[in-house]
Amino acid sequence: MNRPSRIPTADIVRRSLPRRYKKERRFLIYGALSIVVCFLFLGIFFSGIFRMGWRAFFETRIKLPIYLDPELILPYNIKESDYGLVISQSLQRFFPDVTSRQEKRELSKLLGAGVEEVLKEFVIKHPEAVGSAVEIWLPAGDGINLINKGVISKERAIQAGLVTEGILQKFEQLSSDGRVSTGFNSRFFTSGDSHTPSMAGIGGAIVGSFYLMVVTFFLSFPIGVGAAIYLEECAPKSRLTDIIDININNLTAVPSIIFGLIGLAIFLNFFKLPRSSPLVGGLVLSLMTIPVIVIASKSALKSVPPSIREAALGVGASKIQTIFHHVVPLALPGMFTGAILGMARAVGETAPLLMVGMVAFVVDIPKKLMDPASALPVQIYLWSDQPDRAFNEKAAAAIIVLIFFMIAMNSAAIFLRKKYERKY
Amino acid sequence: MKNFIAKFINTSALSRDNSYCYQDVSVFLSDTSQLKSKEPFSLPESSKKPCIVCRNVNVFYKNKQAINDVSLDIYRREVLAIIGASGCGKSTFIRCLNRMNDTIEGCRVTGQILFDGIDIHSKDMDVVLLRARVGMVFQKPNPFPKSIYENVAYGPKIHGLAQSKRELDEIVEVSLRKAGLWDEVKDRLSHSGLSLSGGQQQRLCIARTIAVNPEVILMDEPCSALDPIATARIEELMAELSQEYAIVIVTHSLQQAARVSHRTAFFHLGSLIEIGPTEEIFTRPSKKLTEDYITGRFG
């Protein structure tokens, strides 16, 4: 139907072009803007955390001559000796001008609350040094530490009662003698929780988190993948499998604290498993992770083209041979990706662990799956609750470590996917 | 009442297990001879015995009927071409022959398909064994994403056809030679099967099929994704393979059917319209529909 009076198509199109391009440009700007906002928030978040936390990776140390008095450290009693007394005697010898009882007590604040442990470790390592005077680097007290790292000003520290004028003078004197240094705080990674911030570390939490991950992975991966293979490849499609499917999807949306309650009711109250143990925590996290793995594995299996299945069936492979020789190897990268992402979610989970008692104050580093343990996110939760400034710094540092683990796990997932991704 | 009886007979004929019990196989054999006398064709004397006998095969997808009462025979050492318009059930039909339709949800096959005198749906015939004896080459080349060697060796491996590594190597070489691929790939057997060109991949798939040494090879439009040169190679190959195997090929190309097949079957809307020697079908078809299709009046 070409009427001669019609306006040519080209004219109509030309007229509408500016409007169309404008729309396109507007959309591009919206997209760029939303990305900028995302990065802005990410930047604020990371810079805040890092500004707060990086100092916890360093500690202030003071070098002091310590006389290892053989009268106080008896060879058969190295572990039980009163190292506090050893240190305070050495301090007095070093600062002979301190005489009053009050000042002596103040002097002990120069050093951290856990110096006895540090000295004990030193003597155990070098028992031959007993009876002589040695120069040892010891961790500084919390107040000194905060001032030296620039967390709080001297005036505020004195106001808050963290240090006294006298101690500060002593510290400055030591500093000008070259007896003060700032070094990497390896204790932060190796020691367990403590009541004194300078001694507290995330070693126990890392080990606890590691046990949790081991339990979670070895439970949820086989179960999740098995369920996915059965549902996707073997089960006849029926209303029942549809219902199961929908409910697995629903499970991923269940708030995690509810899984904690299930764990409390079943694993602790019914099976009487030990409270606060990584085993129970891992069981609870497995419950949470299984649906994630099932869904990821199912979609990985679905993405294996049917032509591969037909090829295998066509040469006479049985159903199980087809699945395990051809389909699963092709789906495995996808399954691992799903598993790692599920695990990354689980490693950052706090709420379900609260319900099974993993919030306990645990000093010892767990040795077995049944030992009481804490986990990184729970440790962060515990520390951020403390009124002490030094603990907040530790919490921020623990967040950095946790984020590092998350990034490492997600990178591993991406790496695996890229490496084993095959075209068919 | 009459309706009721008819319905009853219908349902029992539809049910696989019953049909095998109440109908005698000899009925079909006599039926076959009738068919033969009606459609004489020349084939080597030794291949006169049918290898696959299909009687009243119906296929349903859920409630939709895809194949309607198809009866035909497939002989040893012949190439049977199945032609017809898209969607007429050609592929569905040959997928019945090695029970590939089992994998499709909601697909139901009734009637009888006898392979070597045994109903392929009965308990006496295992589906894995059936597929080892009735191999299949698919429309799109679908090598496993593994090495060329692994592709060919997979079938013999799972069936335990080779006792040693040397025997397996031999099977792989012979199969690749038969598929006309050996000279092209002998130096790179460890390369991925996906590194080959489309035509080579399809020949690799044929090699993979014949490595199991089947009795029948089903080919579902094996050349539709290939260029004319690769197609010609595969057609040559079919002529050679028909010395040993029965080949059923589904094709959209009438020229291909005319070139490679001994007999041709024409399907239309799920029904077998006509089957006979290729020459006859293409020169003097007995049905109007066949003639229209072949002369290009539709399809």
Q: Give pLDDT, residue A4.
A: 60
Q: A168 in a domain, yes or no?
A: yes
For chain B, positions 226-285, list CB contacts with chain A under 8 A. Answer: none
Give the one of A311, A313, A424 whose C-beta lies nearest to B103's C-beta. A313
Q: Is A392 in the same domain as A297?
A: yes
Q: A43 in a domain, yes or no?
A: no
**Shortest Cα distance, chain B CAs vs residue A330, angstroms:** 9
What is the end-to-end Cα distance of chain A in Å, rounded?
A: 48
Give the confidence band of B121 by pLDDT, cuts at 50, 70, 90.
confident
Give the confidence band of B137 by pLDDT, cuts at 50, 70, 90.
very high
Q: Give pLDDT, residue B170.
A: 93
Q: A318 in a domain, yes or no?
A: yes
In degrees and rounded to multiples of 5, residue B114 shows phi and psi of -100, 125
Asked if the C-beta of A321 comes within 8 angstroms of chain B's C-beta atoms, the answer is: yes
Number of domains in chain A: 2
Q: Which residues from A are below 8 Å from B95, CB to CB?
A: none
Asked if the C-beta of A332 comes within 8 angstroms of chain B's C-beta atoms, the answer is: no
Picking from A288, A272, A281, the residue whose alpha carbon sits closest to that of residue A210 is A281
For chain A, positions 92-121, list CB contacts with chain B under 8 A. Answer: none
Give the one of A310, A321, A423 whose C-beta lies nearest to B142's C-beta. A310
Record: contact B135-A330, CB cut-off 8 A = no
For chain B, positions 132-161, list CB contacts with chain A under 8 A. Answer: 132, 135-138, 140, 142-145, 154-155, 158-159
Q: Is A112 in the same domain as A242?
A: no
Which residue of chain B is at minimal alpha-carbon distance from A314? B136
Q: A8 in a domain, yes or no?
A: no
Q: A144 in a domain, yes or no?
A: yes
Asked if the C-beta of A239 comes within 8 angstroms of chain B's C-beta atoms, the answer is: no
What is the mean pLDDT for each group of 10 consecutive residues in chain A (424 residues)? 71 91 96 97 92 85 85 77 83 80 78 81 83 84 82 81 81 85 85 82 91 94 95 89 93 92 93 90 94 95 92 92 93 90 90 87 85 90 85 89 90 84 59
Find out whether B227 and B197 touch, Cβ atoms under 8 Å: no
- The residue segments making up the domain with residue A229 are 203-420
Give the one of B145, B155, B194 whose C-beta lies nearest to A316's C-beta. B155
Q: A257 in a domain, yes or no?
A: yes
Q: Is A238 in the same domain as A166?
A: no
Q: Is A81 in the same domain as A208?
A: no
Instruction: Give the span between the Cα atoms of B122 and B161, in whole angstroms.
Output: 25
The three-point CA angle A367-A369-A370 to 5° equals 95
Find out whether B141 and B156 touch, Cβ atoms under 8 Å: no
Count of CB atoms situated within 10 Å of the CB of A246: 10
Exposure of A56 by Cβ count < 10 A (0-12 exposed, 13-18 middle, 19+ buried)? Answer: buried
Q: Return the percent helix, strand and coil in chain A, to nearest 5.
A: 70, 5, 25
**Shortest Cα distance, chain B CAs vs residue A407, angstroms:** 31
Q: A47 in a domain, yes or no?
A: no
Q: A50 in a domain, yes or no?
A: no
Q: Which residues from A are below 8 Å from B194, CB to CB?
A: 423-424
**Shortest Cα distance, chain A CAs vs residue B22, angstroms:** 30
Three-state SS across A119-152? Answer: HHHHHHHCHHHCCCEEEEEEEECHHHHHHHCCCC
**Shortest Cα distance, chain B CAs vs residue A321, angstroms:** 8
> Which residues touch A285 (CB under 8 Å, ≥6 apart)?
A212, A215, A216, A220, A259, A346, A349, A352, A353
Q: Which residues from A are below 8 Å from B142, CB to CB?
A: 305, 307-308, 310-311
Instruction: Give the span between the Cα atoms of B91 and B138, in whole angstroms.
Output: 10
Q: Return the percent helix, strand and coil in chain B, to nearest 5.
A: 45, 25, 30
Residue type at position B115: F
Asked if the C-beta of B100 comes within 8 angstroms of chain A's C-beta atoms, the answer is: yes
In degrees and rounded to multiples of 5, residue B118 shows phi and psi of -115, 135
Q: Is A172 in the same domain as A223?
A: no
Find out whether B175 and B156 touch, Cβ atoms under 8 Å: no
Going by the DSSP 8-state scheme, the letter that residue B180 receives in this structure is T
Record: contact A311-B143, CB cut-off 8 A = yes
Percentage with pLDDT > 70 across chain B: 83
Structure-token match 């079909």, residue found: B28
Which residue of chain A is at minimal alpha-carbon distance from B213? A315
User: Which of A315, A319, A320 is most worth mutating to test chain B (most B CB atoms within 10 A of its CB)?
Assistant: A315
Q: Is A240 in the same domain as A364?
A: yes
Residue type at position A289: T
Which residue of chain A is at minimal alpha-carbon distance from B127? A316
Sheet holding B118-119, edge to edge: B64-75, B50-61, B107-115, B118-119
Q: Is A317 in the same domain as A253?
A: yes
Condensed to tens digits (0 to 9), the pLDDT of residues B199-235 reads 899 999 999 999 999 999 999 999 888 888 888 888 9
Q: Is A134 in the same domain as A220?
A: no
Residue type at position B250: V
Q: Is A69 in the same domain as A174?
A: yes
Q: Is the dihedral of CA A264, A269, A274, A279 positive or negative?
A: negative
Which residue of chain A is at minimal alpha-carbon distance from B105? A237
Which residue of chain A is at minimal alpha-carbon distance from B145? A424
pTM score over 0.95: no
Structure-token match 């391009």, residue found: A21
Picking from A365, A374, A359, the residue whose alpha carbon sits closest to that of residue A212 is A374
Q: Which residues from B are below 8 Å from A332, CB to CB?
A: none
The three-point CA angle A160-A165-A167 to 5° equals 100
ipTM: 0.78
Output the six-digit token pair for B194: 């996906």
Instruction: Give the span between the Cα atoms of A360 and A373, in whole angstroms.
Output: 8
Q: Give pLDDT, residue B24.
A: 38
For A111, A112, A136, B5, the CA distances from A145, given in Å and listed in that order, are 9, 9, 17, 99
Q: Is A393 in the same domain as A261?
A: yes
Condensed to tens digits (0 to 9), the pLDDT of residues B1-18 reads 445 444 444 444 444 343
Residue type at position B92: T
Asked if the C-beta of B224 comes within 8 angstroms of chain A's C-beta atoms, the answer is: no
Query: What's the whole-number mean pLDDT along residues B42-68?
Result: 80
Which residue of chain B is at minimal alpha-carbon distance from A330? B145
Asked if the C-beta of A253 comes within 8 angstroms of chain B's C-beta atoms, the answer is: no
Instruction: Give the span between the Cα atoms of B103 and A327, in whole angstroms.
Output: 15
B269: Cα separation from own chain's centroid: 19
Q: Which residues from B are below 8 Å from A318, CB to CB?
A: 128
Q: Is A292 in the same domain as A143?
A: no
Which of A131, A151, A183 terminates a domain? The answer is A183
Asked if the C-beta of B198 comes within 8 angstroms of chain A's C-beta atoms, the answer is: no
Q: Give pLDDT, residue B54.
A: 92
Asked if the C-beta of B131 comes within 8 angstroms of chain A's C-beta atoms, the answer is: yes
Q: Is the dihedral of CA A383, A384, A388, A391 positive or negative?
A: positive
Q: Report how many Cβ contacts below 8 Å link chain A to chain B.
A: 67
Strand partners, B146: none
> Which residues touch B285 (CB under 8 Å, ≥6 apart)?
B266, B274, B291, B294
Record: contact A315-B205, CB cut-off 8 A = no
For A113, A248, B55, B154, B188, the CA distances from B196, given in Å and listed in that order, are 71, 41, 40, 18, 10
Max Cα distance, chain A (Å): 118
Which of A133, A153, A183 terminates a domain? The answer is A183
Q: Residue A351 is part of a domain; what is its CATH number?
A: 1.10.3720.10
Q: Is A81 in the same domain as A224?
A: no
> Which residues touch A143 (CB under 8 Å, ≥6 apart)?
A109, A157, A162, A163, A167
